[in-house]
Amino acid sequence: MDTTLALASNCREATVNDPVLNSECAFTFHTPFTSAKGIVVNLKTYVGTIEELAFNNVTSESDKEGVFVRIVKERVAKDNDGKTNNDSGAAAGAGEGTAEEKQPTKLGIGVDGGFAGEDDKWETKTTYSVVVLTKKGDADVPPTVVTELPYNEDTKPTFSESIVKLVDSVILHAGMTTQQEVKAWQLDSDEPIIVSKYAADLPFVDNGVMIDPNPASWKCEKTGATENLWLNLSDGFIGGGRKNWDGSGGSNGALDHFQETGETFPLTVKLGTITADLNSADCYSYAKDEDCPVKVPNLAELLEKRGIKVAQMYVARLD
């Protein structure tokens, strides 16, 4: 504990203005769910990484020992509470004739009106610990765990007030990824979203690509990433959103594809934001003279060519 206190004296609480990477590794695509080790967040720099890369952005030998908070998450099946097993007949009867009412009205998973998500079957269990790591010797040698103490409501009283404030400021922080996503889409009231100049004459590639009706199958066609996905309205390519400077955010697949195809297919729509009310859909133009959120008046027409029937709010199944 003395070592932890000494190292923590060089840290300060994270403020709302500090970039805190507490949801994924800065150098890989690992998240707290990836392994039993989760990620570790440096309480001095607020950079989260896998344990092996904890000192990857450190050059000073004096900084190759530090205090971190380890964040580990796992999905645990929710309790059934007996309703399905004991009342299956009643449940089946109650569900008859309600299929139409339960049809999704939004093209997204785990959102109100959308397809059933994993959250309906699983809950997330999160565990924290305060870890002191040190790195010595060859660059290929992983850091050594000097000490690791569980951090939860029961153990908090065993830590000093200063350490509790440091750890909580990182754990409870909105996180850099969330902050950047909000900032990217936050527009001033006097700066309305423009209608893209490319919408009316947007090139359309008749390549037979249709969007699978099962959102669980969506992934970035370049990296396999399954979050923050954008559909190219010209050729049906699905790519990840922009990658941030530290490796967080999206896979950058959508922007890379725009550049690799000669910057001729600039308009995209974010999967998961498409509803019968197309004003709610997030569209973006990668064109250099726009490079901003845009409105696409003919969005319904473009989506229908990919099998997405916005008027009826369903996705045409692939045969």
pLDDT attached to residue 179: 46
Question: Domains in the chain and their CATH numbers?
Answer: 2-77+121-176 (3.30.40.10), 194-315 (3.30.40.10)
| Residues 6+ positions from 291 with CB-CB distance below 8 Å | 285
pLDDT attached to residue 128: 97
As a whole number of angstroms, the distance between CA 57 and CA 156 comes to: 30
Structure tokens at 52: 């092996």
Q: Alpha helices, DSSP H only, in 148-284?
A: 161-171, 176-185, 253-260
As a whole number of angstroms, the distance between CA 313 and CA 318 comes to: 16
pLDDT attached to residue 110: 53
Q: Which pLDDT tens digits describe the chain residue by residue (319 residues)? A: 666 767 778 888 888 778 888 989 988 889 999 999 999 999 989 999 999 999 887 666 666 888 999 999 998 887 655 333 333 333 333 344 444 445 666 565 555 666 655 556 778 899 999 999 998 876 678 899 999 999 999 999 999 998 999 999 999 886 555 444 444 544 444 468 899 999 999 999 999 999 887 777 889 999 888 888 999 999 999 999 987 655 566 789 999 999 999 999 999 999 888 877 778 789 999 999 999 999 999 999 999 999 988 765 444 434 3
pLDDT attached to residue 98: 43
- Neighbouring-strand partners of residue 309: 314
pLDDT attached to residue 70: 97
pLDDT attached to residue 112: 61
pLDDT attached to residue 312: 58
- The structure's pTM equals 0.48
Euclidean distance between the first and the last CA atom of the chain, given in angstroms as a whole number:
63
As a whole number of angstroms, the distance between CA 279 and CA 71 comes to: 38
Question: Could you give the angle at the alpha carbon of 186 between the alpha carbons of 44 and 176, nearest 5°?
Answer: 15
Structure tokens at 177: 């990824």
Helix count and strand count (H, E) for the chain: 7, 15
pLDDT attached to residue 29: 82
pLDDT attached to residue 216: 79
**8 Å CB contact between 129 and 146:** no
pLDDT attached to residue 82: 38
As a whole number of angstroms, the distance between CA 93 and CA 89 comes to: 6
| Closest C-alpha to 74, from 24, 19, 107, 36 | 36
- Neighbouring-strand partners of residue 292: 285
pLDDT attached to residue 217: 85
> Position 151: which residue type?
Y
In 3-state terms, what secondary structure has residue 91? helix
pLDDT attached to residue 225: 86
Encode 244-275: b = buried (16+ Cβ within 10 Å), e = exposed: bebebbbbbbbbbbbeebeeebbbbbbbbbbb
| Residues 6+ positions from 133 with CB-CB distance below 8 Å | 40, 51, 54, 55, 65, 66, 68, 143, 144, 145, 146
Sheet of strand 122-134: strand arrangement? 48-49, 39-42, 65-77, 122-134, 144-151
